[in-house]
């Protein structure tokens, strides 16, 4: 007959387990403290690097992107705080200034595009608006996306709508696009035509006529799409926010 473990043996095993737990906790605490010290050293080195290369970070788009990637790697957001060391460097000023200019371009064009503009058109207009004085500062799509992200503090009036691989629309009017409206814009972008029709939405997206008509009707009402009845076969719905993109593509 198998003997049961005595009370003393059970207590001994319990004490050993507690010792293992204590040792494990001690090791974890030491590792955490070591990692914290390493991150602090990284942060100090990053601040020193930023101070030394401040002008190049602001002027060179590729250098700026690499700097942001270094910041993200250790959980530092140089744009998040308006105080302290990062504000002294003025790195965030580039994006705040860019944000103001984005608002100006969007307000100047929303009467014809309904508050939607492609990131490429926005970039082109910003470069022209900044003029020769800012010509030495490159502006990339990543810069625009970062600046628009900061504009979200004003509510849902400014947001980015993905319409394809590497393609975005900047929305500058209150209210979010629903899924169907976003799919319509993505379809128009993928076709490279700046327009769609009910037939295309039914055939390519598998929608019924009611669903397609409702989405397009709402977009026309909001000024996001224009109706074209000149086609003999079917009504076309054009998106002025994509006109320049199609012209650039040679459509």
Taking the complete model, does pTM exceed 0.95, yes or no? no
Q: Do 181 and 237 share a domain, yes or no?
A: yes
Q: Do 60 and 106 share a domain, yes or no?
A: no
Contacts of 229 (CB under 8 A, 6+ apart): 235
Residue 55 lies in a domain: yes
* Highest mean predicted confidence (pLDDT) among 81-85, 151-155, 206-210, 228-232: 206-210
Distance from C-alpha of 233 to C-alpha of 160, rounded to nearest angstrom: 34
Distance from C-alpha of 19 to C-alpha of 102, rounded to nearest angstrom: 61
Give the tens place of pLDDT for each residue, 50-106: 777 777 777 777 777 777 777 777 666 665 555 555 554 556 677 778 888 888 898
% of the chain surpassing 70 pLDDT: 73
Residue 237 lies in a domain: yes
Residue 40 lies in a domain: yes
Q: Do 240 and 181 share a domain, yes or no?
A: yes
Number of domains observed in the structure of the chain: 3
Among 135-139, 216-220, 235-239, the range scoring the smallest mean pLDDT is: 135-139
Two structure tokens written together for 120: 């490429």
Residue that is last in its domain, among 174, 198, 216:
174
Distance from C-alpha of 58 to C-alpha of 75, rounded to nearest angstrom: 20
Q: Do 138 and 170 share a domain, yes or no?
A: yes
Residue 128 lies in a domain: yes
Residue 10 lies in a domain: no
- Asked if 144 and 65 count as a contact pair (C-beta separation under 8 A), the reply is no
Q: Do 169 and 185 share a domain, yes or no?
A: no
- Asked if 94 and 58 count as a contact pair (C-beta separation under 8 A), the reply is yes
Q: Do 168 and 184 share a domain, yes or no?
A: no
Contacts of 5 (CB under 8 A, 6+ apart): none
Among 7-16, 83-92, 97-106, 159-168, the range scoring the smallest mean pLDDT is: 83-92
Residue that is last in its domain, among 123, 151, 174:
174
Residue 23 lies in a domain: no
Does residue 247 register a pLDDT over 60?
no
Q: What is the mean pLDDT of the chain?
A: 79
Q: Do 168 and 192 share a domain, yes or no?
A: no
Two structure tokens written together for 33: 């403290």
pLDDT at 91: 61
Distance from C-alpha of 131 to C-alpha of 91, rounded to nearest angstrom: 21
Q: Do 165 and 238 share a domain, yes or no?
A: no
- The domain that holds 110 is classified in CATH as 1.10.10.10
List 70's β-bridge partners, or say none.
none
Residue 16 lies in a domain: no
* Domain housing 44: 35-75
């Amino acid at each position: 007959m198998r003997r049961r473990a005595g009370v003393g043996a059970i207590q001994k095993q319990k004490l050993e387990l507690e010792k293992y737990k204590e040792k494990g906790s001690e090791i974890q605490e030491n590792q955490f403290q070591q990692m914290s010290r390493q991150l602090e050293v990284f942060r100090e080195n990053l601040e020193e690097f930023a101070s030394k290369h401040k002008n190049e970070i602001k002027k060179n788009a590729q250098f700026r992107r690499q700097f942001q990637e270094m910041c993200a790697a250790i959980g530092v957001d140089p744009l998040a705080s308006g105080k302290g060391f990062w504000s002294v460097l003025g790195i965030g000023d580039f994006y705040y200034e860019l944000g103001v200019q984005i608002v100006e371009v969007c307000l100047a064009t929303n009467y014809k595009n309904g508050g939607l503009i492609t990131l490429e058109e926005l970039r082109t207009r910003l470069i022209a608006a900044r003029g020769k004085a800012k010509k030495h500062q490159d502006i990339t799509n990543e810069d625009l996306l970062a600046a628009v992200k900061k504009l979200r503090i004003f509510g849902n009036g400014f947001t980015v709508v993905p319409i394809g691989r590497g393609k975005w629309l900047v929305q500058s009017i209150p209210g979010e696009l629903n899924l169907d409206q976003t799919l319509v814009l993505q379809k128009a972008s993928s076709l490279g035509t700046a327009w769609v029709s009910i037939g295309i939405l039914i055939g390519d997206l598998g929608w019924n006529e009611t669903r397609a008509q409702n989405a397009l009707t709402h977009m026309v009402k909001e000024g996001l799409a224009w109706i074209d009845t000149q086609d003999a076969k079917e009504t076309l719905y054009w998106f002025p926010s994509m006109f320049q993109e199609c012209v650039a593509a040679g459509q």
